[in-house]
């Protein structure tokens, strides 16, 4: 079953259970300063859960565009390293706004996954977790559904004070939250990893496919949990992960949609297609995140959301460079993405030339400094140290436009790390110097207009404002 068919099946199933099919919201959260990018299906319904917004329906289902590359749920560093993480992914979700609660949510999930009318997954490959003290959810799984007790793992209380654990889901530091029950698929003993709750749970054998959150609280700024007006349900299933299961492959990157993008990445970087090449996977991942972000109005810039986008684009370019592609290539993948996903997301087609232009401009800009920056980095690493000094990392950042996480990514590939404290110190020195210089020149006023002039080298003055803007959201 192709990913696009699975997406449709999910929506059809929940529509048949009285859910309103609602379109994905933008990746840029609407009037929500607590959130960098949309990171879950529930984001667009936040105010409905909180009781501030009323809808003509109490049940909804969506396939939501999500980006997890910053903020609370940040998977940027996982991409290329795990079989299951992307920066951009689609989250299938069903929602109850004060309508059904735990029992129906669990029954729906199980029916969709295991019924021969729907996905028909083998029950013995599934495992579930419940929040440690959630006897009600445990009993529904065990007594109603018939999942054996040894396949239900309680997670939560062992990891700290109430609700500090994985099985208590929250969108951000504040907002709707609640205990959850998660469904895992066992990809088989030949893959490293252990069941949830075990020391090896971070491996890729047991992959979490679906999270069902029982929304019960609103966490405020002081950390206090206030009960929501009505207990609700919010679920999220990664389309790429469930597609991997149904296509009998282990990694998300092996599903139909990604195979085509990886082929395209190989074509444009001029290397043979290979599933063993992490850089091709990273590029295939990043073209999705970058294209969808531009389609939703984000442009590469030096702060906030635009800087996260810039970092992802530059990481992709650097991976192309690593494969030997020193020319422009990244923007040429937009067509392949549009072919793959344009039917489900027409904004890709509508904005195709805007996306291509934005990526191309960024490629041109970074091409001016990437080669020299890499030479500097190679030189600095030639001494065999295990840690890249902070001064060099800062110079790469300030002069050559290497976001710190990009430098760290290169170092990590070689088993090295970056001296973050040294980087911060170099940044502080730079700020102090530019403050002194601008005070001297301008009697205390900064002498630049904040335009997008960074990454051009020491010939452009590094004014404090510019560096601060770069620094604000730019680092892990
Ligand atoms: P994991 O523990 O694997 O990082 P998660 O617990 O952070 O996942 P949730 O916040 O519960 O994920 O999100 C709901 C679902 O969305 C997950 O069960 C998974 O199927 C999917 N998902 C989450 N993060 C990603 C990602 N980075 N890439 C692809 N799918 C994801
Ligand atoms: Mg996660
Ligand atoms: Mg998890
Ligand atoms: Mg989860």
- The atom number, within ligand 1, closest to the CA of 87 reads 27
Pick the residue whose CA is nearest to atom 19 on ligand 1: 238
DSSP letter at 148 equals -
User: Once rounded to an integer, what is the mean pLDDT over residues 288-310?
Assistant: 97
Q: How confident is the model at residue 434 (pLDDT cuts 50, 70, 90)?
A: confident
Distance CA 224, CA 130 (A): 22
Pick the residue whose CA is nearest to atom 2 on ligand 1: 208
Check residue 157 and give its pLDDT: 52
CB of 208 shorter than 6 A to ligand 1: yes
Check residue 202 and give its pLDDT: 83
Check residue 467 and give its pLDDT: 29
Convert the pLDDT of each residue in 46-95 to its tens digit.
999 999 999 999 999 999 999 999 887 899 999 988 999 999 999 999 99
Q: How confident is the model at residue 440 (pLDDT cuts 50, 70, 90)?
A: low
Nearest to 344 by CA among 270, 257, 269: 257
Residue of 84, 175, 195, 289 to mutate, ligand 1, most atoms within 8 A of C-beta: 84
CB of 211 shorter than 6 A to ligand 1: yes
Number of H helices, E strands in the chain: 15, 11
Tokens representing residue 19 in the block: 């859910």
| Contact (Cβ atoms closer than 8 angstroms) between residue 79 and residue 282 | yes
How far from chain centre, in Å, is Cα 234?
A: 18
Convert the pLDDT of each residue in 347-377 to its tens digit.
999 999 999 999 999 999 999 999 999 999 9
Paired with 89 in beta bridges are 66
Number of the ligand closest to the Cα of 75? 1
Check residue 441 and give its pLDDT: 54
Q: pTM value?
A: 0.89
Convert the pLDDT of each residue in 367-421 to its tens digit.
999 999 999 999 999 999 999 999 999 999 999 999 999 999 999 999 999 999 9
CB of 399 shorter than 6 A to ligand 1: no
Nearest to 147 by CA among 199, 107, 193: 107
Distance 351 CA to ligand 4 centre (A): 32
Check residue 443 and give its pLDDT: 42
Distance CA 203, CA 195 (A): 9
Convert the pLDDT of each residue in 212-247 to its tens digit.
999 999 999 998 889 988 999 999 999 999 999 999
State yes or no: pLDDT of 449 exceeds 80.
no
Distance CA 416, CA 378 (A): 13
Q: How confident is the model at residue 437 (pLDDT cuts 50, 70, 90)?
A: confident
State yes or no: pLDDT of 450 exceeds 70.
no
User: Once rounded to an integer, what is the mean pLDDT over residues 446-468?
Assistant: 29
Convert the pLDDT of each residue in 19-49 to its tens digit.
999 999 999 998 888 789 999 999 999 999 9
Residue of 78, 85, 182 to mutate, ligand 1, most atoms within 8 A of C-beta: 85
Number of the ligand closest to the Cα of 82? 1
Residue position matching structure tokens 């110079």: 395
Check residue 223 and give its pLDDT: 85
- The atom number, within ligand 1, closest to the CA of 82 reads 3
164 C-beta neighbours (distance < 10 Å), count:
11
Distance CA 379, CA 210 (A): 46
Paired with 93 in beta bridges are 62
- The atom number, within ligand 1, closest to the CA of 210 reads 18
CB of 68 shorter than 6 A to ligand 1: yes
Pick the residue whose CA is nearest to atom 12 on ligand 1: 211
DSSP string, 7-59: HHHHHHHHHHTTPEE-PPPPSS-TT-TT-SS--SGGGGGHHHHHTS---S-SE
Q: How confident is the model at residue 106 (pLDDT cuts 50, 70, 90)?
A: very high
Distance 278 CA to ligand 1 centre (A): 20
| Contact (Cβ atoms closer than 8 angstroms) between residue 319 and residue 271 | no
Average pLDDT, the chain: 89
Neighbours of ion ligand 3 (CB under 5 A): 208
Distance 463 CA to ligand 3 centre (A): 42
DSSP letter at 224 equals P
Q: How confident is the model at residue 342 (pLDDT cuts 50, 70, 90)?
A: very high
CB of 238 shorter than 6 A to ligand 1: yes
User: Once rounded to an integer, what is the mean pLDDT over residues 247-267?
Assistant: 97
CB of 172 shorter than 6 A to ligand 1: no
- The atom number, within ligand 1, closest to the CA of 213 reads 11
State yes or no: pLDDT of 461 exceeds 60.
no
CB of 176 shorter than 6 A to ligand 1: no
Convert the pLDDT of each residue in 136-174 to its tens digit.
999 999 999 999 999 999 997 544 444 344 788 887 788
Distance CA 279, CA 285 (A): 10
CB of 241 shorter than 6 A to ligand 1: yes
Residue position matching structure tokens 């919010």: 234
State yes or no: pLDDT of 315 exceeds 90.
yes
CA distances from 170 to 37, 47, 144, 173, 178 (A): 15, 14, 27, 7, 7
CB of 84 shorter than 6 A to ligand 1: yes
Check residue 126 and give its pLDDT: 98
CB of 65 shorter than 6 A to ligand 1: no
- The atom number, within ligand 1, closest to the CA of 207 reads 3
């Amino acid at each position: 079953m192709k990913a696009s068919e699975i997406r449709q099946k999910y929506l059809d199933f929940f529509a048949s259970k009285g859910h309103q099919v609602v379109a994905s919201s933008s990746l840029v959260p609407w009037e929500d300063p607590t959130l960098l990018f949309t990171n879950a299906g529930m984001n667009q319904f936040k105010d409905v859960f909180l009781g501030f917004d009323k809808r003509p329906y109490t049940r909804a289902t969506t396939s939501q565009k999500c980006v997890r590359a910053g903020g609370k749920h940040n998977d940027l560093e996982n991409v290329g390293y795990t079989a299951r993480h992307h920066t951009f992914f689609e989250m299938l979700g069903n929602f109850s706004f004060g309508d059904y609660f735990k029992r129906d949510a669990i029954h729906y999930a199980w029916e969709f996954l295991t019924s021969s009318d729907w996905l028909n997954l083998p029950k013995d490959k599934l495992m579930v977790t419940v929040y440690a003290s959630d006897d009600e959810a445990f009993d529904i799984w065990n007594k109603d559904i018939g999942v054996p007790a040894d396949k239900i793992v309680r997670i939560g209380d062992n990891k700290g004070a109430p609700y500090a654990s994985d099985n208590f889901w929250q969108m951000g530091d504040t907002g709707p939250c609640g205990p959850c029950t998660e469904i895992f698929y066992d990809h088989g003993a030949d893959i490293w990893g252990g069941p949830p709750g075990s020391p090896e749970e971070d491996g890729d054998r047991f992959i979490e496919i679906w999270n069902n959150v029982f929304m019960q609280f609103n966490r405020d700024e002081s950390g206090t949990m206030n009960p929501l007006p009505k207990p609700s349900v919010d679920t999220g299933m990664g389309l790429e992960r469930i597609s991997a299961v149904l296509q009998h492959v282990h990694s998300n990157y092996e599903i139909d949609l990604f195979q085509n993008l990886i082929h395209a990445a190989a074509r444009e970087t001029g290397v043979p297609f290979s599933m063993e090449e992490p850089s091709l996977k990273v590029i295939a991942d990043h073209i999705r995140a970058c294209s969808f972000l531009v389609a939703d109005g984000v442009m590469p810039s030096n702060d906030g959301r635009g800087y996260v986008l810039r970092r992802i684009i530059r990481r992709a370019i650097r991976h192309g460079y690593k494969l030997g592609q020193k020319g422009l290539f990244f923007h040429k993948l937009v067509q392949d993405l549009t072919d793959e996903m344009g039917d489900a997301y027409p904004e890709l087609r509508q904005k195709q030339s805007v996306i291509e232009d934005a990526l191309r401009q960024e490629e041109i800009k970074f091409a001016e400094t990437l080669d020299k920056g890499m030479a500097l980095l190679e030189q600095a690493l030639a001494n065999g140290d295990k840690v890249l000094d902070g001064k060099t990392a800062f110079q790469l950042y300030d002069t050559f436009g290497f976001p710190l996480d990009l430098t760290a990514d290169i170092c990590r590939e070689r088993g090295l790390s970056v001296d973050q404290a040294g980087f911060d110190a170099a940044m502080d020195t730079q700020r102090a110097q530019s403050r002194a210089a601008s005070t001297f020149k301008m009697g205390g006023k900064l002498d630049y207009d904040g335009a997008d002039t960074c990454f051009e080298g020491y010939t452009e003055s590094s004014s404090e404002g510019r560096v601060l803007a770069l620094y604000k959201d730019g680092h892990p």
